[in-house]
Structure 1
Amino acid sequence: MESLIEFWAIVVDVWNNAAFGTNFGRIVVGVGVFAMFLVIRRLFARFVIAWLKRLTKKTTTDIDDQTIDALEKPLRFVPIVFGFFIATEVLQLDGSFDIIAAKLTRSLVTLTLFWGVISVVEPLSLLLGRLKDLFSDTMISWFVKAIKILFMFIGAAAILDVWGIEIGPILAGLGLFGLAGALAAQDLLRNLLSGVLVLAERRFQVGDWIRVDGVVEGTVEAIGFRSTAVRQFDKAQVQVPNTALADNAVINFAQMTHRRIYWKIGVIYGTSVDQLRFIRDEIEAYILNGDDFAKPPEVSTFVRIDSFGDSSIDIMVYCFTKTTVWGEWLAAKERLAYRVKEIVAEAKSDFAFPSTSIYVEAYPGDPPEIFQPPVDRGPTAAAAIVESSGSVAEAPADGDGA
């Protein structure tokens, strides 16, 4: 009997002083309350946030829709923070546990508030769209990133302050390593300043086709703090340091007003002056009357008999297409090539190709001996030759007998 009484006393003591300075019943109730708020979180997301989304869709602007979408995760976290606060109140913690719980609650509230502010920064940046005349999209993106980093730093400092950790000594300690950090980050700072310079001068934007001789050629995909992502035409991505783009000449093909066609067309030397004049006039008329080409004085256009080459009379064709799209430019150039071919055929001339003629007037010294190969006469001819040789051999014998 005494053992049962002792066991019951232990149970009662554990129930009254289970952990964290509170009894077991309050712990069970606190966990139940927190679990209930997890369920409320789902209901809150399903009904309240969904209602806010339906409400914003009725407006004519997209800013409020994007703002609610950005705030969805912080808002879903609010019931968890509130549930944690209610659970700690139910637990009625004592001493240091109560202080820790209070600091955790304040930290969660601070985290949620700054999380919401950081999430809202990007949708609200759409209001800066009116400043595109002054700032490019990339500069606005950099500005948004800088604001986010600033709020992250302030939020971290606020949470550290909740726990009694002063930010001042930390910054002072970082200052001791300022010189070493500056030396180590020298390359980063150079690339960062170069990126700012590229954006300020508007050398190129995302989506532009650029070429830097000896460095890269392709389409700009992103301009970062340290490097710029360029997609080459073989679909490989290249990360180019911003210093390479700031210190070298950058050709921005996206800023072209027209695309140029510059040809040298060679016709044969047998082409007469009238034929040359016909070819030149017809090509010029096709360019000046065609819809594919820009007209003077907007651009320079020349079709001229240019030079006498080694194997051809060269006609220069210099003109510009209205389009700057590469595929459309290729199609316009192809149509011009077809017409040039037809014009040269109509003129009854022909295109020249590299050739070399060798003229031999006389051989030096005595003329060479002409080699005549032997003729195969067959077995009969060979026997005749042998018989003839025998007659010649017998002739001296007759002479001696005489």
Structure 2
Amino acid sequence: MRTTSVLIVTFAVFVVLETLNVPNMPGDIFRRVMASIAVIAVFSGWYNLSGSFVSLLQSDRFGEVRMEAGWMERVARFGILLFAITSLLEVWRVDISGALTGVGVLGAGLAIATQDLIRNLVAGMNNMSEKRFAIGDSIQIDGSFVGTVESIDLRSTLIRGFDQIPRHVPNSELSNAVVLNYSHRRHRRVMLSIPLLLDSTEAQVLQVRDTLREHLSACGDFELSEEAPKHVYVEGLSECAVTIIFYAWTTTPEYDNFLRVNESLSLKILETVRAAGTELAYPTQSINLRGSAIP
């Protein structure tokens, strides 16, 4: 409001000066003074509004990203002050070409010195635009480190590992890394190999297989749509067992539900094997010892 009032008054004074036809020398000085007041008013308004513009980056629209608004606001205000000083010098016709050359050289030096910072800023914006992950997601980086995203800044991302140690990972590294987002999966895979004794009869093996197929279809723990493969078959023979493979996907990706489904399935396997009159196999090895004659 103050900026608007100052600009209105300044414009009115200019109109009065043109109407009164003030002599060149005092009129020119007075016009420059009024122009300087207008420049100061405009840039002071921008200076005061810079905090509001930066705060828009922390609105609900960007709720998943916590940005460091303090340093961004300082950079914005520094830029406004620099342009304001340049405009005032232009109003008073001060030659600033040499200064601008020096500022350009200084800017180039700063760009070289802060290239890592700039690279991380650009990478951070790319990560946000691609929506590769959000706060609260469990991710794996380059097939090794696994953790939960706690905050996403423009320069780095805070990831807390399952060992509860926080890691501040530069955004440039995340931008070039292979990131597995476990929180975006729709199901969890359950894959078991169930070994039965080699001397199990065909009827016993088929009974176990068919019972597990019924459990997969009727228990409600597994996804039955076409997008989720499901297999319960006699996989083959090994040295000590007849193996049945159980391959399916849970209905939801939650880890607690995955544990519950595995527990229920394990108990069902034990019950089914006992009901079929056979047993689970385990690796065995026979050693024959030949005794020697004692004189």
* Residue aligning to 2:264: 335
Offset, 1:169? 7.4
* Identical residues among aligned pairs (%): 28
Aligned to 1:152: 77
For CA contacts below 8 A with separation 6 or more, give which structure has more relative contact order: 2
Shift of 1:262: 0.9
For residue 231 of structure 2, the aligned residue among 293, 302, 306 is 302
Q: Tell me the secondary structure at the aligned position of residue 111 of structure 2.
A: helix
Distance 2:132 2:56 in 1: 27
User: Unpaired segments of 5 or more residues in structure 2?
Assistant: 1-39
Kept in 1, the 8 Å contact 2:233–2:244? The answer is: yes
User: Offset at 1:343?
Assistant: 0.6
What residue identity is the alignment partner of 2:294?
I
The secondary structure found in structure 2 opposite 1:177 is: helix
**2:51 aligned residue:** 118
1:80-111 CA-to-partner distances (Å, cap 9, x unmatched) read xxxxxxxxxxxxxxxxxxxxxxxxxxx9xx88
TM-superposed deviation, 1:174: 3.5
**Aligned CA distance change for structure 1 residues 227 and 119 (closer, same or farther; 3 Å):** same
1:355 is displaced (CA, Å) by 1.2
Distance 2:154 2:222 in 1: 41
Corresponding residue SS for 1:317: strand
Give the counterpart of 1:288 among 217, 221, 230: 217
Pick the structure with more helix per residue: 1
Cα distance in 2 between the residues matched to 1:298 and 1:278: 27
Distance in 2 (CA, whole Å) between partners of 1:172 and 1:149 is 24
Most deviating of 113-122 and 342-351: 113-122
| Aligned 8 A contact 2:159 2:167 in 1 | yes
1:316 is paired with a residue of what secondary structure?
Answer: strand
How large is the RMSD of aligned CA atoms in angstroms?
A: 3.8
CA contact (8 A) 2:196 2:279 kept: yes
Deviation readout 1:343-371 (Å, 9 max, x if unpaired): 111111111111112357xx7xxx94235
How big is each residue's C-alpha offset from its partner over 1:110-167, in whole Å with a ceiling of 9 and x where there is no partner? 889845651475369648x4xx8xxx843xx669789745642355448868998x99
Match for residue 272 of structure 1? Answer: 201
Distance change >3 Å, CA 180–CA 154, structure 1 → 2: closer
**Number of residue equivalences:** 254
Deviation at 1:286, TM superposition (A): 0.6
1:256 paired with 2:162, answer no
Please state whether the residue corresponding to 1:263 is helix, strand or coil: strand
Paired amino acid for 1:182: A
Indicate the residue corresponding to 2:130 in structure 1: 201
The residue aligned with 1:84 is none
Alpha-carbon distance in structure 1 between the residues aligned to 2:146 and 2:261: 24
- Give the TM-score of the pair, scaled to structure 2: 0.71
- Pair 229,150 (structure 1): closer, same or farther in 2 beyond 3 Å: same
Whether 1:177 aligns to 2:106 is yes
**Partner Cα distance (1:204, 1:184) in 2:** 30
* Native 8 Å contact 2:57 2:67 kept in 1: no
- Displacement of 1:272: 1.0
The one-letter code sitting in structure 2 at the alignment partner of 1:370 is I
Rounded to whole Å, the distance in 2 between the matches of 1:172 and 1:331 is: 69
Residue 294 (structure 2) pairs with residue 370 (structure 1): yes
Give 1 or 2: higher strand fraction. 2
For 1:214 and 1:188, locate their aligned partners in 2 and report how far apart those are by CA, in whole Å: 26
One-letter amino acid matched to 2:243: D
Could you tell me which residue of structure 1 aligns to residue 171 of structure 2?
A: 242
Distance of aligned partners of 1:333 and 1:115 in 2 relative to their CA distance in 1, 3 Å threshold: farther
Q: Which runs of 5+ in 1 are unaligned?
A: 1-106, 372-402
Superposition deviation, residue 257 in structure 1:
0.9
The within-5 A match list for 1:316-331 is: 316-331=245-260
